[in-house]
Amino acid sequence: MAVEILGSDFQWVSRENDVLMKVRSPIYGEFLILTELQLRYTDKMPLRMRAYAALAQEKYGLPVYPVLVNILQPSETTIVRDRFESNFLGLQARQDFCVINLWEVDADIVFEQSLDTLLPFVPVLKDGGNEQTVRRALVQLQQNEQLVELESLLGFFASFVLDTELVRQIMRWDVTVLRESPWYQEIRQEGRLEDELRGRTEEARSLILRQLARRVGTLPAEAEAQVQALALPQLEALGEALLDFAGLDDLVGWLSQR
């Protein structure tokens, strides 16, 4: 049972996308549910979830159940993790957290269980990205006076899966509203950053492969595939390490530690 919404302002961390709630369970007693709403998953999320959970527990002195809600599906190469792990000088740290990927949630559940607060996200839910389902979500959203203001958010997410003109017809307002939305601006900025990162990664990968070919000779297909799968920080680390490689075995050993 929810007892109190505590907000997201704990200690020096303030996050608009956080919801911190105190709940009471007949089995577990009082504890906190920390929900982080993330537009698109990044590899920084595990560390962030660890930090938020620790700060919340220190602030309120209660156990914390962290939940990460990812809205938009990331690229196929992105691994969505459900824990933070580190091992430094023999000291280990681990923070598990629950992960909810909205694209894996069936849109019909929202209607069947009257989960009205999820109506704006229907277009990005499983089997929710079609005109009929979006119209159904809009009707149900307009029937709830407390949620009617979220209509523009529904239109925003509908624009990811439907033609812009069709969204305009469904929502019956100017789509320029979407472009003025902070969500829309965040997506555009995120897209520019992703394009820049992708370009830097491809450039680094090409350079590393050329350097490896000169250093250790022709790479086996498996080793080359492993290098191709490395993220930019790992490629940079490999670029430094390969200066000490004497042969292919050194590369294989380095890759086995990743």
Point out the least confidently predicted range of 1-15, 147-161, 187-201: 1-15
Categorize the per-residue pLDDT at 184 as very low, low, confident or very high, splitting at 50, 70 and 90.
low
Categorize the per-residue pLDDT at 70 as very low, low, confident or very high, splitting at 50, 70 and 90.
very high
Predicted pLDDT of residue 203: 82
**Is residue 35 within 8 Å of 18, Cβ to Cβ?**
yes
Could you give the dihedral angle defined by the CA atoms of residues 113, 118, 124 and 128, in that order, rounded to the nearest 10 degrees?
30
Does residue 65 register a pLDDT over 90?
A: yes
Q: If you average pLDDT over every residue of the chain, what do you get?
A: 81
> Bigger pLDDT: 138 or 258?
138
Does residue 2 register a pLDDT over 50?
A: no
Partner residues linked to 65 by β-bridges: 33
Does residue 191 register a pLDDT over 70?
A: no
Predicted pLDDT of residue 38: 87
Taking the whole predicted model, whether its pTM rises above 0.75 is answered as no
DSSP 61: -
> Bigger pLDDT: 103 or 245?
103
Give the residue-averaged pLDDT of 139-167: 81
Q: Is 66 exposed, middle or buried (0-12, 13-18, 19+ CB in 10 A)?
A: buried
Q: Which of 24, 108, 123, 114 is nearest to 71 (CA)?
A: 123
Euclidean distance between the first and the last CA atom of the chain, given in angstroms as a whole number? 43
Give the residue-averaged pLDDT of 203-220: 85
Other C-beta atoms closer than 10 Å to the C-beta of 48 total 18
Distance CA 237, CA 255 (A): 11
Predicted pLDDT of residue 16: 46
Pairing of strands 18-25, 2-5: antiparallel
Categorize the per-residue pLDDT at 176 as very low, low, confident or very high, splitting at 50, 70 and 90.
low
Give the residue-averaged pLDDT of 145-157: 79
Does residue 216 register a pLDDT over 80?
A: yes
Does residue 173 register a pLDDT over 70?
A: no
Point out the least confidently predicted range of 6-15, 140-149, 183-192, 198-207: 6-15
Which residue reads 């109190």 in tokens?
Answer: 4
Distance CA 4, CA 258 (A): 43
Task: List, for residues 81-136, the tens digit of each pLDDT value.
Answer: 999 999 888 889 999 999 999 999 999 999 988 888 888 899 999 999 898 999 89
Q: Which of 116, 110, 175 is nearest to 141 (CA)?
A: 116
Q: Is 31 exposed, middle or buried (0-12, 13-18, 19+ CB in 10 A)?
A: middle
Predicted pLDDT of residue 68: 94
Give the residue-averaged pLDDT of 222-242: 84
Does residue 200 register a pLDDT over 80?
A: no
3-state secondary structure of 4: strand
> Bigger pLDDT: 60 or 7?
60
